[in-house]
Amino acid sequence: MALQGFDAQQFLDGDWQRRPRVLRGALQGFECPVDGDDLAGLACEDEVDSRLISQHGSDWQLQHGPLKESDFAELPASHWTLLVQSVDQWIPGVAELLNDFRFLPRWRIDDIMVSYAADGGSVGPHYDQYDVFLVQGSGRRRWQLGQHCDDSSELLGHPELRLLKHFDCQQEVILEAGDILYIPPGVAHWGTAVGDDCITLSVGFRAPSDAELLNSWSIERETVLSDGQRFSDQALNASAPSGWIPEDVLPQLRERLSAGLDDDRALSRWFGQMMTHVDQQQRFDNPALSFEEYALREQQVPACLRLGARLAFDAHYLFADGIAYPYPSDLRPAVAEFCEQEGGDDVMGLVVELRYQLYQTGTVYFDDDVED
């Protein structure tokens, strides 16, 4: 389903990472692919990241999953919200929503978080450091949009929730099913359910901080550097003060710390792996098969792409769920086509050797191996 009345390039030129944008009726006739029971069931699973947030006056309480059925039975009639992360990895209808955002790089998408709120339910005034599209699935939600925030913005001091101490409402909108609200990084926002059965699907995007980039790059470099590559200082001056660090040390430090940055292939491989990385709990284990056994299985049933697989490619590598797979240039059209596929699609367009590698790491699977 294409977004109605939406010009993607106009949005990218004028709104993306600049200002909020309300897309009224962007998903006309939208039927929410998930309900409260689905979310409650997922929240009880060990491998699913979930949270339950409730408000009692000025007091905010947070409970992490996995939850129990008794947790839901004890909830009040209003002012609570259930949040479930990465629902696109579990429910095909939710994953299909990502098709509407293919005008943005696939490797920038993080996940779809879904919230279910009773009347008055909210997660409080806050800001995110990444772009997000808030898709109203069912019910109604009032959104208040506020000031631009940064690391200096004062917080309430809750031990786990990053709630703003001051919120300056500058715009207010009410979303109904099929409406979408885009919020760029740093814009304060506060959503509150208007009535029961309020479901919002949040399409979030990856925006690693400079600190995360540097940390990841240093870990990458650590894997290729030997213990024998060390700092050295052959040109010493015996008359220099013993505590003095000379300036001629700095060029060597700069060279050592920046080593590898001029290797475009290595840099691109690291970045592709980082931007498609999935947490260990999001990985899937397939039954162990030899290459011959795998090829035989494919004669009986085609291999399929996992829901929520994170895919990208460059001139040398296919990236899938944080792993880089080298491929020859003549396979680029097939690799590009593969990166357009959705969960459940068969992956027979790739060469069998690459399909087998993707099977071994859980990115592709055989449908009859999945338990209902």
**Over the chain, what is the mean pLDDT?**
93
Helices 264-275, 210-222: axis angle to 10 degrees equals 120
Based on the fold, state whether residues 254 and 322 are members of the same structural domain. no
User: Residue 164 in contact with residue 154, Cβ under 8 Å?
Assistant: yes
Look up residue 188 and give its two tokens: 């304060």
Residue 252 pLDDT level (bands cut at 50, 70, 90): confident
Based on the fold, state whether residues 212 and 164 are members of the same structural domain. no
User: Is this model's pTM higher than 0.75 or not?
Assistant: yes
Cα distance between residue 274 and residue 268, in whole Å = 10
Over residues 184-192, mean pLDDT: 98
Residue 371 pLDDT level (bands cut at 50, 70, 90): low
User: Residue 277 in contact with residue 322, Cβ under 8 Å?
Assistant: yes
Residue 10 pLDDT level (bands cut at 50, 70, 90): very high
pLDDT at 93 over 70: yes
257-274 pLDDT per residue, tens: 888 899 999 999 999 999
**In a domain? residue 252:** yes
Based on the fold, state whether residues 292 and 335 are members of the same structural domain. yes
Boundary residue ending a domain (172, 205, 238) = 205
**In a domain? residue 59:** yes
Based on the fold, state whether residues 253 and 175 are members of the same structural domain. no
Residue with tokens 């001139």: 315
Based on the fold, state whether residues 126 and 215 are members of the same structural domain. no
pLDDT at 236 over 70: yes
Cα distance between residue 368 and residue 278, in whole Å = 24
Q: Percent of the chain beyond pLDDT 70?
A: 98
Based on the fold, state whether residues 195 and 253 are members of the same structural domain. no
**In a domain? residue 238:** no
Cα distance between residue 228 and residue 242, in whole Å = 26
Question: Residue 361 sits in which domain range?
Answer: 280-369
295-327 pLDDT per residue, tens: 999 999 999 999 989 999 999 999 999 999 999
User: Residue 16 in contact with residue 101, Cβ under 8 Å?
Assistant: no
Domain count, the chain: 3
Q: Which pLDDT value is given to residue 241?
A: 87
Look at 145 and 238; give whichever has higher pLDDT.
145
Based on the fold, state whether residues 213 and 142 are members of the same structural domain. no
Q: Which pLDDT value is given to residue 44?
A: 97
**In a domain? residue 230:** no
Pairing of strands 317-320, 311-313: antiparallel
Q: Which pLDDT value is given to residue 372?
A: 47
Based on the fold, state whether residues 212 and 314 are members of the same structural domain. no
Cα distance between residue 369 and residue 174, in whole Å = 44
pLDDT at 1 over 60: no
CATH number of the domain at 120, please: 2.60.120.650
Based on the fold, state whether residues 80 and 108 are members of the same structural domain. yes
Q: Percent of the chain beyond pLDDT 90?
A: 82
**In a domain? residue 192:** yes
CATH number of the domain at 349, please: 3.40.366.30
Based on the fold, state whether residues 52 and 159 are members of the same structural domain. yes
pLDDT at 35 over 80: yes
**In a domain? residue 228:** no
* Single-letter amino acid, residue 293: E
Q: Which pLDDT value is given to residue 233?
A: 79
pLDDT at 370 over 70: no
**In a domain? residue 85:** yes
Q: Which pLDDT value is given to residue 32?
A: 97
Based on the fold, state whether residues 200 and 291 are members of the same structural domain. no
**In a domain? residue 275:** no
Which of 265, 344, 272 lies closest to 308, judged by CA?
344
Based on the fold, state whether residues 42 and 191 are members of the same structural domain. yes
Over residues 144-151, mean pLDDT: 97
Cα distance between residue 308 and residue 344, in whole Å = 10
Q: Which pLDDT value is given to residue 159?
A: 86
Cα distance between residue 231 and residue 225, in whole Å = 13
SS3 string, the chain, reads CCCCCCCHHHHHHHCCCCCCEEECCCCCCCCCCCCHHHHHHHHCCCCCCEEEEEEECCEEEEEECCCCHHHHHCCCCCCEEEEECCHHHCCHHHHHHHHHHCCCCHHHEEEEEEEEECCCCECCCECCCCCEEEEEEECCEEEEEEEECCCCCCECCCCCCCCECCCCCCEEEEECCCCEEEECCCEEEEEEECCCCEEEEEEEECCCCHHHHHHHHHHHHHCCCCCCCCCCCCCCCCCCCCCCCCCCHHHHHHHHHHCCCCCHHHHHHHHHHHHCCCCHHHCCCCCCCCHHHHHHHHCCCCEEECCCCCEEECCCEEEECCEEEECCHHHHHHHHHHCCCCCCCECCCCCHHHHHHHHHCCCEEEHHHCCC
SS3 string, 156-206, reads CCCCCCCCECCCCCCEEEEECCCCEEEECCCEEEEEEECCCCEEEEEEEEC
